[in-house]
Structure 1
Amino acid sequence: MHALDTAGLDCLAALAEAGSFDRAAQLLNITQSAVSQRLRSLESQVGHPLVVRARPLRLTEPGKVLLRYARQIQALRADAARELGSTLARDERLPIAVNADSLATWVLPALDPLVQAGQREGYGLELIVDDQDFTHDWLRQGDVLGCVSSVSQALRGCLCQPLGLMRYIAVAAPSFIERAMPQGLTRSNFSQLPFIVFNRKDDMQAQWVSRAFGVREPRLKERYVPSSEAGARAAEMGWGVAVLPELLARPHVASGALLPLLPDVTIDVALHWHQWRLSGDDSGTNTASNTAASTPTTGPARTGLMDQIGAAVIAGARAALSAVPAG
């Protein structure tokens, strides 16, 4: 196949981001007609329709393949612009997907030195939030260049590095315990008590109950609070039982605002960092860990921006999370 038209690839990426032709035209600062023409030219070049022209707009399977390529081209272009001292890097998005619990605990501190050092460059780091079991889908579909995920298998063309274990514990407010379960949380009363749940993808509470009481597919009374920090706050206010990351729960437990329930029962979720390999290094899955060990996240650096982001995520996670047991 001949070299793909980069203007068409930019249009495809803008359509995926914006969800419509008119909004894509605004992102690219061109007319809607020009977006359509460039997309048709790219479709003609590859011999496949790339976009389903519906409401909402969505990509075809060939479109998703090319979106991954377009995102990688954009990241490489941002790297080149940065090295040349060009302001073109400011227009490039560097999206990564993370789970909400990681975002609420260790991700921002991990990325902060890199973001602070890159203020003058102003590249468009974008954090996209989804459940850790689903962030990998964003990577596979080409919507992001890297992700924190519970998936351990690397996609072809990607590197994958283990980050550590995020431990979850069950907690509740002292007032809620006194009012709703003075005898404690038991196999006989858990189904009558409300559990605070992030969203309908979140099954951490059910996993914890299954482990605590040996119940398969427990049915819970759920109260949805779609924020990790707000879920902890809701638990403090006595809304119900919460199964929180230990990192998030720790200060609330230390202050006495929350009390652990069955502290010997925990859930450990192994997290991994995935990113598209942009540098042409085919040496295997150790690229990111080598970068993390050898490349500072502040000051001038010769590594690409995605490599720097990956190195920062890996270093920050390994400092905050529990290590995966050997073997």
Structure 2
Amino acid sequence: MPNPLTIVVAINPSASFGKSRSVGPAVVARLRAAGHRVTSLQEPDFAHLVEAAALAVAQTPDALVVVGGDGMVSLGVNLLATTDVPLGIIPSGTGNDMARGLGIPVGDPDAAVDALLESLARAPRAIDAGRIHHLDADGRPQTTWFACVLSAGFDAIVNERANNLRRPRGKSRYLVALAIELARLKPIRYRLVLDGVETVTDAALIAVGNNQSIGGGMRVTPDAVVDDGLFDVLVVTPLSRLAFLRVFPRVFAGTHLTDPRVTVHRATTVRIEAESVAAYADGERVSLLPVDIEMVPGALRILA
């Protein structure tokens, strides 16, 4: 048996009553059965979980394992970026895009725990992360980290709309938001600065990818590599509603890059400006634009 490790497991509070409610306790049980010292964090809400996880990470455990979707990954990335504490991921959320891009089994928690236990016996993998500089609602400077994809176009607008809808609940709320915003689809005027080179352009979608997908498998930046020190910056020029509906399904397969209205740039620093558009990173709202994003190579240690 390997030397026992001190592991903190943070469990998504919203999974307490859902179909994934048994995943967190099962992860804790298997890690303890493997001989590890485990602290299980099960808090009543996300804010309390962030606070508890921050206190636990301050004690420099051997690993932080998050159980949930990309929101939980975002929690882990923002606590662990530039530290020596590695992040483990047991995907049990809706999107699970970060886990998917890292090759962690999705839809099979037992297999994900198997992979985690194997990873604990090896040195962690170093991957890149993006550091976002932005302002909060009161105009104060803030820093937010992401490891998967930042979006600041039509998909972010749909996310914003869905978050503001009271009904319906679940995935159907996103579909309603998509229908509403598709009816209002219009070009967005952006000022985009990539590694110091400025472009002013109209676009329907801009995404900055360190990993490949958003929204549960939409491969917006299919060629992105998590440890190459570069962002893949996707720009989709304005589309009619009909053209959008034709291109959109190709995103899931990652074949949209052959469309002449789609371009990908590679950069280490990105500034995005636009009026009344919010940026979302790893599925979580960051702030309204503008945002400044910098690539930090090897900023995150991953158990994968």
Q: Which structure: greater strand fraction? A: 2
Report the TM-score range of the alignment, normalised by the length of the smaller protein.
under 0.3
TM-score, normalised with respect to structure 1: 0.26
The structure whose Rg is larger is 1
Q: Which structure: greater helix fraction? A: 1
TM-score, normalised with respect to structure 2: 0.28
